[in-house]
Amino acid sequence: MQEILNKTYKRIKSDLGKGKVADYIPELAKVNPKQFAMSLVTIHGEEYNVGCFDKRFSIQSISKVIVLAMAMEIVKEKLWQRVGREPSGSAFNSLVQLESEDGKPRNPFINAGAIVTTDVVVESCLDPYKLILDFVRKNSKSYDVNFDKAVVKSEALYAQRNTALAYFMQSFGNLNSNVKKVLDVYFHHCSLAMSTLELSRLFLFLANKGINPLTDTKVMNPRYVKRINAIMMTCGLYDSAGDFAYRVGLPAKSGVGGGIVSILPGEFVLSVWSPSLNHSGNSYIGTKALEQFSRLSGKSIF
Amino acid sequence: MQEILNKTYKRIKSDLGKGKVADYIPELAKVNPKQFAMSLVTIHGEEYNVGCFDKRFSIQSISKVIVLAMAMEIVKEKLWQRVGREPSGSAFNSLVQLESEDGKPRNPFINAGAIVTTDVVVESCLDPYKLILDFVRKNSKSYDVNFDKAVVKSEALYAQRNTALAYFMQSFGNLNSNVKKVLDVYFHHCSLAMSTLELSRLFLFLANKGINPLTDTKVMNPRYVKRINAIMMTCGLYDSAGDFAYRVGLPAKSGVGGGIVSILPGEFVLSVWSPSLNHSGNSYIGTKALEQFSRLSGKSIF
Amino acid sequence: MQEILNKTYKRIKSDLGKGKVADYIPELAKVNPKQFAMSLVTIHGEEYNVGCFDKRFSIQSISKVIVLAMAMEIVKEKLWQRVGREPSGSAFNSLVQLESEDGKPRNPFINAGAIVTTDVVVESCLDPYKLILDFVRKNSKSYDVNFDKAVVKSEALYAQRNTALAYFMQSFGNLNSNVKKVLDVYFHHCSLAMSTLELSRLFLFLANKGINPLTDTKVMNPRYVKRINAIMMTCGLYDSAGDFAYRVGLPAKSGVGGGIVSILPGEFVLSVWSPSLNHSGNSYIGTKALEQFSRLSGKSIF
Amino acid sequence: MQEILNKTYKRIKSDLGKGKVADYIPELAKVNPKQFAMSLVTIHGEEYNVGCFDKRFSIQSISKVIVLAMAMEIVKEKLWQRVGREPSGSAFNSLVQLESEDGKPRNPFINAGAIVTTDVVVESCLDPYKLILDFVRKNSKSYDVNFDKAVVKSEALYAQRNTALAYFMQSFGNLNSNVKKVLDVYFHHCSLAMSTLELSRLFLFLANKGINPLTDTKVMNPRYVKRINAIMMTCGLYDSAGDFAYRVGLPAKSGVGGGIVSILPGEFVLSVWSPSLNHSGNSYIGTKALEQFSRLSGKSIF
């Protein structure tokens, strides 16, 4: 495994920096684009790394998997009355689909859908910030993981589109808590700063039928685990889920911070980070690295 | 395995006939909706069946997997210059997406996409009818599989929408052969009549890295096999690919004749047939049976 | 003229109450649907009325003509950098078009467009409320016309969709003032309470090359008058502008309060009110009455 | 009047050739872009011309007014069961709207709508070619007006999009005659070659309550005349009807051959021709000339 990671790194090295760093908020725009990290953690606890695997970055949309997992444990299958699970065919922050489908987001991985899952978490408790931090810290076994306050602030300043989405869903009766509060929690979890190693540890329960093998605790119902993987497969990579399935063949979720988490059920979690993005908003090098890894290792779900 | 199939059958039995048989052509409308068959064939050649597994039915859109496999072997990765591989988010015969994306169909499993893959096959040889029949007969080891001429005729009478799609793509320069000829070949392969057992045998190469274990011949490059499975996963069930992945978790392709073929890579092909459809145009009972099977056996790619 | 108005009233009398009163806010829902009024005022100051022509009602979207006229006088042709002047083909509060056209509303008579013209008025002065009231009072010669505070409050409670529109445009840089402030002014002018007679007097400048003949003052540049009439013709009746042009043939603007103002350039302003709406959101009886009037009098621009 | 035409010509002279000649068929692409003609004919028979007013050009979509007038006389108001009368908000050959509105074209001036009106004419008689030619020749008093066979041939070679539209409508049951026949008649009337003077004479009945003053015969019901003018006003200039109403303020219909016919009801028909087009597909110079004319003469319906 370590050898395959090393080989993968070699193959993508010369391309480092290609693509374009996200620039919609200053905090992301100023990241050095040439960084790279990859961490594979098996369900038996073996860990393999290359690059700056302990450097934290903004996980952004990868946090949508966290709130989806939390929301499913809270309201179970009732979640699907408020959010769909089909690929969207449109941009991650589009309002078009919402309008023609009466305020029900197409899936939990577009912004509108993650605002709904965040609303579920907000409704369920007094302190959603703490609930989310506890979940992340416990499962990654990194007790100092935190929100990046500078990123939160930055997000809030460029929040009009997400604010529009939230009010729009509220106009259809699909947002229960206060709009400002839900958006604040949403901006917080998007701004979580974590390393690839921490991400791979955190999501081990998705490769291991709901049980985190590091802490030996049941994180969620195994039935729901299968379902989250299915949604990652069909909706995890914005509007290039099909292309990613074709090239990589693993359920995965990306973020505009340049991170991608992928799962091979029954085997491992493989996280990668490199900040420059392709035109679909996924890490340019990260996607390439996962494709190389899949080719070199023969590992995929297909 | 046989026991699981039997149990599955028991669970869906009382629902037989629910849903609505396809009625856009008379030949499909007059089929008895209460029929059911399920056939699992492993890559080691073991065969398990329930129901009328040797009764032939109209495979309809399942034939799109056949022409996709043939087209990929003919033009390799160049195929993706003419057809995409993303979920469409629209109906299987929609023209909307085609217009906004300059005549390039979203994927090879919507009608427009399958007209393009058919065009590739038509361009490649003198007798596409024979080429397709040979492919199907050899791989299913059923040498009397044939086109159902009554269905071909019926399709041709209700062909305006597909004719519109074809001329529309031609207006964008994405159809090379004669429109009438391509459509005639298209209607022929859609009208192939096969049983669930024959379908499971035919598609074994997709579960076995490109090799048909029954004939011990290489059908296609293993790399392309992985890719076809990926496209089945994200685009195989019309506009409910996400829901199917969520409930069943296997790459699959359905047809409005009521058939569904699903693949567990490295293990088996599982085909099911029951004519009544749900609102997405997939077999109502077939989808339920696959969901039950997946639950009872624990078999899925996630 | 009086005779034609009387005849028109006779013809529509038996249909009074048909259609459906707007119910998105309680203040509109509780209006008696069987009311009717029609007022024709010529550019020479002659006035003809039928029905309850001095009863005030909520003018709603008719106020969009007022803010358009004010905005054109403020920024002249520069207005068209921020808002288009083509029919929208979509519902009056749609976000779809906004998204595909980068936050520029299709015309000043859909909600998004009127939020932009309101923004122009808000930017231009310290007290937009007073500026609007002064404009209306002076030109209608009714110095006690006012905002209906109950309606303002009601609008604000059901404001999510308009709030979404405003934030969405702000995300494209097409809203300069504070979102809350612009929306508050917008809700105020929509809630103006006026009678048909007052409306006909108010808009005389649109029939008289920019000059209000009652006060003998120049309200606006005659060139802009022609242009506002053109926009009323093509965009004034939500998504049934074409049908209204076909049946009535006068530039007009309707409101969900049941009012419609129509202009015959060089001759008169004809306002009508009856609260029940057709499926396009225009007064059911009002449209019928204008159609009858046009037929009986032979008056239309075509 | 003559003086105003002369002045108009002076003002646009230096811009002659700006814009881009239609190039979708070779017959149009090879026209000299610097040509210009303008003909005003009053309902009293006075004629004023500038430029090459007796040179014939391809009237293209202007023929849609001819078949609309003929279709309305044949099926009266029943026409509106098969075609709408609202602005489309999309390109003239779009399929999108057709799909979402079940095969009913938005109005008779987009291609799909004109294929329906052509179908009405084809259904009504044995020789639609003769019927159309007779109508045009009699009303323009030019008995040698004819189809340009080279253009017909050219159109037929680049017909895929219109063929797609026709089959698509047929799939919704909105085309009664044979697709090939309807398209052939459609291509013929689009290829009529006429001069601006002939066009102004031909359409006099639209300015004169249905009566052609030159021949003193009733061409159509005056009620329908008003209605055709209304449709020209809201839908006559492709997707810039609003802009044209704003700038010119006359009901009009344009063609990609560079011609525009405009009507001032009760006064005159004003036709203009200059082959180069703006980005909306309307004559660049023609639109400018009409705008100048309207400004200089103060003539408009508003």
Give the distance from residue D12's alpha carbon to the nearest chain B alpha carbon, in angstroms. 36
C255 within 8 A of C274, measured Cβ to Cβ: no
SS (H, E, C) B42-56: ECCCCEEEEECCCCC
Q: Confidence band (pLDDT; 50, 70, 90) for B90?
A: low
Please, which residues bridge with residue B264 across strands? B268
The answer on pLDDT for C158 being more than 90 is: no
Cβ neighbors of B282 (< 8 A, separation 6 or more) are B237, B238, B240, B244, B254, B260
A235 within 8 A of A109, measured Cβ to Cβ: yes
List alpha helices for chain A, DSSP H. 2-13, 26-29, 63-75, 96-100, 111-123, 128-140, 149-157, 160-171, 179-190, 196-202, 204-207, 222-235, 241-247, 284-297
Beta strands in chain B (DSSP E): 20-21, 37-42, 47-51, 57-58, 146-147, 192-194, 211-212, 217-218, 252-254, 259-264, 268-273, 276-277
**Cβ B167–D167 below 8 Å, yes or no?**
yes
Q: Confidence band (pLDDT; 50, 70, 90) for C97?
A: confident
Cβ neighbors of D10 (< 8 A, separation 6 or more) are none
Please name the residue that has the structure tokens 């209906």: C148
- What is residue A225's three-state secondary structure? helix
Q: Which of D261, D27, D23 is nearest to D150 (CA)?
A: D27
Q: What ipTM was estimated for this complex?
A: 0.91
Angle at B43 between CA B37 and CA B45, to 5 degrees: 70
**Cβ B95–D168 below 8 Å, yes or no?**
yes
HSE value, Cβ hemisphere, 13 Å, CA-based, for B258? 35
* Burial class of residue B3 in the structure, from the number of CB atoms within 10 Å of its CB (0-12 exposed, 13-18 middle, 19+ buried): exposed
- What pLDDT shows up at residue C91? 60
| Both tokens assigned to C44 | 């020479």
The set of chains that have 3 or more CB pairs under 8 A with D is B, C
Cβ neighbors of A16 (< 8 A, separation 6 or more) are A33, A34, A36, A274, A285
A/B interface, count of CB pairs below 8 Å? 99
Compare CB distances from B160 to D96, D99, D171 and report the shortest one's residue: D171
Rounded distance, CA C252 to CA C230, Å? 10
Interface of C with A (CB under 8 A): 94-96, 98-100, 160-161, 163-168, 170-171
Rounded distance, CA D240 to CA D294, Å? 17
- What pLDDT shows up at residue C111? 93
Compare CB distances from C265 to D87, D226, D302 and report the shortest one's residue: D302
Share of chain D above pLDDT 90, in %: 87
Query: Residue A91: left (phi > 0), alpha (psi -120 to 50), or beta?
Result: beta
Give the distance from residue D63's alpha carbon to the nearest chain C alpha carbon, in angstroms. 20
D147 within 8 A of D188, measured Cβ to Cβ: yes
The set of chains that have 3 or more CB pairs under 8 A with C is A, D
| Both tokens assigned to D79 | 């026409």
Give which of B88, B90, B171 to mutate to test D binding, by max D Cβ within 10 Å. Answer: B171
C/D interface, count of CB pairs below 8 Å? 99
B/D interface, count of CB pairs below 8 Å? 49
DSSP state of B186: H
Torsion of CA B86, B89, B91, B96, to 10 degrees: -90
Q: Which of C221, C211, C222, C202 is nearest to C269 (CA)?
A: C202
Which residues of chain D neighbour C231 with C-beta distances below 8 Å? Answer: 242, 245-246
The set of chains that have 3 or more CB pairs under 8 A with A is B, C
List alpha helices for A178-258, DSSP H. 179-190, 196-202, 204-207, 222-235, 241-247
| Both tokens assigned to C10 | 């006779």
Length of chain B: 302
Please give the mean pLDDT across all residues of chain C.
94
Mean per-residue pLDDT, B283-291: 97
- What pLDDT shows up at residue A76? 96
Q: Which of D185, D184, D156, D196 is nearest to D62 (CA)?
A: D196
- What is residue D92's three-state secondary structure? coil
| Both tokens assigned to C284 | 């059911």
B219 within 8 A of B70, measured Cβ to Cβ: no
DSSP state of D78: G
Share of chain B above pLDDT 90, in %: 87
Q: Confidence band (pLDDT; 50, 70, 90) for C25?
A: confident
| Both tokens assigned to C278 | 């057709």
Rounded distance, CA B53 to CA B39, Å? 6
- What pLDDT shows up at residue A178? 96
Angle at C149 between CA C143 and CA C152, to 5 degrees: 115
Share of chain C above pLDDT 90, in %: 87
Rounded distance, CA C37 to CA C120, Å? 33
Please name the residue that has the structure tokens 């003509």: C65
Which residues of chain D neighbour B94 with C-beta distances below 8 Å? Answer: 99
- What pLDDT shows up at residue B26? 87
- What pLDDT shows up at residue D157? 80
For residue A299, what is the nearest residue in chain B, using CA coordinates?
B226
Q: pLDDT tens for residues D182-197?
A: 999 999 999 999 999 9
| Both tokens assigned to D264 | 């001032």
Cβ neighbors of D283 (< 8 A, separation 6 or more) are D19, D254, D258, D259, D260, D272, D273, D274, D275, D276, D277
Rounded distance, CA C159 to CA C184, Å? 10
Please name the residue that has the structure tokens 């007796």: D54
Compare CB distances from A160 to C96, C99, C171 and report the shortest one's residue: C171
Q: Confidence band (pLDDT; 50, 70, 90) for C102?
A: confident
- What pLDDT shows up at residue B58? 97
The answer on pLDDT for B100 being more than 90 is: no
Q: pLDDT tens for residues C166-210?
A: 999 999 999 999 999 999 999 999 999 999 999 999 999 999 999
Give the distance from residue D11's alpha carbon to the nearest chain C alpha carbon, in angstroms. 19
Give which of D246, D250, D253 to mutate to test C binding, by max C Cβ within 10 Å. Answer: D246
- What pLDDT shows up at residue A92? 58
Rounded distance, CA A248 to CA A270, Å? 12
Give the distance from residue C164's alpha carbon to the nearest chain A alpha carbon, in angstroms. 4
Which residues of chain B neighbour D96 with C-beta distances below 8 Å? Answer: 95-96, 99-100
Cβ neighbors of B83 (< 8 A, separation 6 or more) are B104, B105, B106, B107, B108, B113, B116, B117
**Cβ D246–C85 below 8 Å, yes or no?**
yes
Please name the residue that has the structure tokens 């400004």: D295
Which residues of chain B neighbour A87 with C-beta distances below 8 Å? Answer: 86-87, 89, 234, 241-242
**Cβ D168–B170 below 8 Å, yes or no?**
no
Rounded distance, CA C133 to CA C148, Å? 12
- What pLDDT shows up at residue B158? 82
C195 within 8 A of C171, measured Cβ to Cβ: no
DSSP letter string, B117-159: HHHHHHHH-S-HHHHHHHHHHHHHT-TT-EE-HHHHHHHHHT-
The answer on pLDDT for C93 being more than 70 is: no
The answer on pLDDT for B92 being more than 90 is: no
Interface of B with D (CB under 8 A): 94-96, 98-100, 160-161, 163-168, 170-171
Range in A182-191, B230-239, C57-66 with the lowest mean pLDDT:
B230-239
DSSP state of A49: E
B286 within 8 A of B259, measured Cβ to Cβ: yes
Please, which residues bridge with residue C283 across strands? C277
HSE value, Cβ hemisphere, 13 Å, CA-based, for B87? 33
Residues of chain A below pLDDT 50: none
DSSP state of B24: S
Q: pLDDT tens for residues B62-71?
A: 999 999 999 9
Interface of D with B (CB under 8 A): 94-96, 98-100, 160-161, 163-168, 170-171
CA distance from start to end of chain A: 19
- What pLDDT shows up at residue D92? 58
Q: Which of C136, C146, C124, C175 is nearest to C58 (CA)?
A: C146
Compare CB distances from A230 to B88, B235, B249 and report the shortest one's residue: B249
**Cβ B246–A233 below 8 Å, yes or no?**
no
- What pLDDT shows up at residue D90? 62
Q: Which amino acid is at D2?
A: Q
The set of chains that have 3 or more CB pairs under 8 A with B is A, D
**Cβ A95–C95 below 8 Å, yes or no?**
yes
Which residues of chain A neighbour C90 with C-beta distances below 8 Å? Answer: none
